[in-house]
């Protein structure tokens, strides 16, 4: 039967819209006072936070950064750099990592009792001693009727757990109470817990819909076993996506306390990988001490954002939020320019320097593979990150093409989409140039019969301008001209 009339049909566009990979997204493993949070996140699970308030709501906060390392990163990234988002993985499980605190008498001041922040609110038992027919007798108070529990500062930067006797309760005027409780124990976390946390980077895509490209574990990454696992994960998140492990060099007495110890430390701990960015020493802002890896992640996210989410520019020579370089115990580190030039220019580490009226800036363009590996795509931080970015974008963009019939139309669609996107990056100045080709020698018939197609992507990200020379020469002709006038 004829289908009379005029009919319009639509065909899918042959050129796809690239699914550009997100950059400057840290995945941070460590501890947080999650038992103090309003909406506590499950431990050992990726938690996406796009603001300070959201992070505190899910993880809690404390200025005790030795005990709660995620809080250091939270403060730096959101408060100092204004960067977002961050994916946190808290390895402190208050249900398992805890210890009981025996009942003891506490004095009441202004109807309040102060406990350490580690006190878990739901475990607190409060009793008062009353005289019953001449016999001292303890009576247990009821939560939310006789007292409430909350977490707040104690008038300084120290966060504490506060038990407040309620005005309408039965013990409002008590001068002393007896309290027993269970407290979270952040010191119970181990290297194995951190390693398990790093492995959770693979869960980010399904759990929060974002793939991180920076792996960070401040307070832990200086441990060789942790650094090794971070590097392995950065090389293949979900077995597919690439990123960088941002690692701190140990700045305690058992690590590096003098700049010249860095090369031996790198070799001893096998910190020579293109997927590693090494940081030394720590930095300080006022009374707050940060691992340099923490601030460098914030700086990279800031620089990436200013460049439209393209990681083609180095964080080197950009301002950090600091006023001193220090070791882990707070001892100051004062590097000369010559020493900075060795650390950042010869030994493949990132440090900080205050020089030439620039304020404190990060200094160092090299990944940890330098100087052993001088392949331009590996040695420079921005070039290596651009390779990661291009590769991650290609994976995300063409994943939907998998298992389609391998036709010339499919081939042309992939090539055209890829070249249009690469051309845009080149036109924007993010690449010197780039192209995708399908080469016959890389696609033998045996591979094609097996459903295997290979595209060769040529690209050249800009290298950082590390050295600018001026040659001064006395030109005698100027003198001759001047004197002959």
Distance from chain centroid for Cα 85: 10
Return the pLDDT at 7.
66
Is residue 242 domain-resident? yes
Residues 116 and 135 in one domain: yes
**Mean pLDDT along residues 9-16:** 67
Domain holding 169, by residue range, is 98-184
Q: Residue 461 above 80 pLDDT?
A: yes
**pTM of the model as a whole:** 0.94
Return the pLDDT at 18.
85
Residues 323 and 472 in one domain: no
* 134 band by pLDDT with thresholds 50, 70 and 90: confident
Domain boundary among 184, 217, 236: 184
pLDDT > 90: percent of the chain: 93
Residues 356 and 410 in one domain: no
Q: Residue 133 above 90 pLDDT?
A: no
pLDDT greater at residue 369 or residue 7: 369
Residues 292 and 319 in one domain: yes
**Residue 337 φ then ψ, to 5°:** -60, -40
Is residue 438 domain-resident? yes
Q: What SS3 class is residue 484?
A: helix
- The tens digit of pLDDT for each residue in 390-416 reads 999 999 999 999 999 999 999 999 999
Is residue 7 domain-resident? no
* 131 band by pLDDT with thresholds 50, 70 and 90: confident
Tokens of 381: 């931080």
Q: Residue 175 above 70 pLDDT?
A: yes
Q: Residue 485 above 90 pLDDT?
A: no
Return the pLDDT at 226.
98
184 strand-pairing partners: 98
**Mean pLDDT along residues 255-261:** 98
Return the pLDDT at 454.
95
List the alpha helices (DSSP H) in 307-453.
337-345, 376-379, 381-398, 408-427, 445-449
Q: Residue 12 above 70 pLDDT?
A: no
Q: How far apart are the first and last CA of the chain?
A: 101
- How many structural domains compose the chain? 3
In whole angstroms, what is the distance from residue 32 CA to residue 219 CA? Answer: 12
CA distances from 19 to 95, 108, 121 (A): 40, 59, 45
Is residue 390 domain-resident? no
Tokens of 261: 């110890």
Is residue 3 domain-resident? no
Residues 71 and 126 in one domain: no
- The tens digit of pLDDT for each residue in 84-118 reads 999 999 999 999 999 999 999 999 999 999 999 99
Task: Report DSSP letters for 176-221, one per residue.
Answer: EEEEEEEEE-GGG--HHHHHHHHHGGGGHHHHHS---SEEE-TTTT
Q: Residue 368 above 70 pLDDT?
A: yes
Q: At what angle do helices 224-235 and 191-199 cross, to 10 degrees?
A: 10
Distance from chain centroid for Cα 328: 20
* 8 band by pLDDT with thresholds 50, 70 and 90: confident
Is residue 398 domain-resident? no
- The tens digit of pLDDT for each residue in 290-349 reads 999 999 999 999 999 999 999 999 999 999 999 999 999 999 999 999 999 999 999 999
Domain boundary among 166, 184, 202: 184
Return the pLDDT at 6.
75
Give the closest residue to 60 by CA, choosing from 86, 34, 83.
34
Is residue 10 domain-resident? no
Domain boundary among 184, 203, 223: 184
Return the pLDDT at 209.
95
44 — alpha (psi -120 to 50), left (phi > 0) or beta? left
Mean of per-residue pLDDT scores for the chain = 96
Residues 136 and 69 in one domain: no
Q: Residue 149 above 90 pLDDT?
A: yes
Residues 248 and 333 in one domain: yes
* 1 band by pLDDT with thresholds 50, 70 and 90: low
**Mean pLDDT along residues 252-281:** 98
Q: Residue 14 above 90 pLDDT?
A: no
Is residue 317 domain-resident? yes
């Amino acid at each position: 039967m004829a289908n009379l009339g005029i009919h319009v049909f639509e065909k899918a566009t042959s050129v796809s819209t690239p699914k550009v990979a997100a950059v400057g997204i840290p995945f941070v493993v460590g501890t947080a006072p999650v038992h103090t949070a309003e909406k506590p996140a499950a431990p050992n699970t990726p938690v996406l936070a796009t603001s300070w308030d959201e992070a505190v709501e899910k993880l809690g906060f404390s200025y005790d950064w030795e005990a709660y390392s995620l809080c250091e990163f939270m403060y730096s990234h959101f408060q100092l750099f204004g960067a977002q988002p961050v994916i946190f993985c808290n390895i402190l499980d208050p249900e398992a990592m805890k210890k009981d605190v025996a009942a003891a008498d506490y004095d009441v001041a202004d109807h309040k009792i102060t406990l350490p922040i580690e006190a878990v609110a739901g475990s607190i038992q409060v009793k008062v001693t009353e005289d019953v027919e001449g016999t001292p007798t303890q009576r247990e108070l009821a939560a939310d009727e006789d007292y409430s529990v909350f977490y707040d500062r104690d008038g300084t930067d120290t966060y504490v757990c506060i038990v407040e006797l309620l005005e309408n309760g039965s013990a409002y005027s008590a001068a002393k109470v007896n309290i027993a409780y269970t407290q979270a124990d952040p010191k119970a976390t181990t290297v194995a817990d951190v390693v398990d946390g790093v492995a959770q980077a693979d869960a980010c895509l399904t759990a929060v819909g974002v793939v991180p490209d920076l792996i960070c574990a401040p307070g832990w990454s200086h441990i060789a076993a942790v650094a090794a696992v971070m590097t392995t994960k950065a090389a293949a998140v979900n077995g597919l996506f690439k990123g960088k492990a941002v690692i701190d060099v140990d700045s305690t007495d058992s690590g590096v306390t003098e700049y010249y110890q860095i090369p031996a430390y790198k070799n001893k701990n096998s910190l020579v990988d293109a997927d590693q960015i090494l940081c030394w020493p720590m930095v300080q802002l006022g009374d707050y001490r940060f691992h340099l890896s923490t601030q460098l992640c914030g700086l990279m996210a800031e620089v990436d954002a200013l460049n439209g989410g393209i990681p083609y520019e180095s964080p080197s020579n950009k301002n950090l939020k600091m006023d001193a370089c220090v070791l882990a115990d707070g001892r100051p580190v004062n590097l000369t320019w010559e020493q900075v030039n060795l650390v950042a220019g010869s030994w493949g580490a990132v440090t900080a320097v205050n020089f030439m009226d620039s304020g404190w800036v990060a200094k160092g363009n090299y990944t940890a593979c330098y100087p052993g590996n001088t392949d331009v795509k590996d040695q420079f931080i921005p070039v290596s990150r651009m390779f990661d970015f291009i590769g991650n974008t290609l994976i995300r963009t063409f994943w939907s093409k998998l298992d389609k019939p391998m036709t010339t139309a499919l081939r042309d669609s992939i090539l055209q989409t890829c070249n249009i996107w690469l051309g845009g990056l080149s036109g924007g100045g993010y690449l010197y140039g780039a192209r995708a080709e399908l080469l016959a020698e890389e696609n033998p018939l045996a591979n094609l019969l097996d459903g295997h197609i290979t595209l060769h992507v040529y690209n050249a990200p800009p290298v950082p301008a590390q050295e600018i020379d001026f040659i001064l020469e006395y030109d005698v002709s100027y003198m001759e001209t001047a004197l002959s006038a």
